[in-house]
Amino acid sequence: MSTPMTDEELIERFENCTLSGASFHHPDHVKVVWLYLRCNSVLETLGRFSAGLKRFATANGKPSLYHETITWAYVFLINERMRRSGREQSWTGFIESNADLFDWQNSILKSYYQDDTLRSEVARRVFVFPDKLSTHSSMSES
């Protein structure tokens, strides 16, 4: 049985593209972003993670898998959740209090985006702002 990677090994192997693409799943993406945000600003994280994910996808022979809107939206959501907690939270604590960020099948992005928007080539290439109105919007209360 192999020993789990340390956080430092995860970052190093992600950045060096030595992780297996077949074993780097959505929760691993979230963890890398979470680790970056613990030490970097949201904008630094956005640049570093996006560039790393593009390299990683290309190194694994699947450059077309990179999706800018999904990548950026998750970076911003993870950052917001970390800042809202108002305290330093362990990885386990973050998972427990943010289960919706880890459900890839019923992605939280479905609350913010039309399906057609996320499937579009434009959303794949550039960040597209959310196009669903929030059900919690106070605009109708005026």
Domain layout of the chain by residue ranges: 7-132
pLDDT of residue 2: 58
15: tokens are 């950045």
- The residues near 102 (Cβ < 8 Å, ≥ 6 apart) are 26, 27, 30, 95
pLDDT at 139: 40
pTM: 0.90
Cα distance between residue 142 and residue 139, in whole Å:
6
pLDDT of residue 87: 75
Q: What is the mean pLDDT of the chain?
A: 91
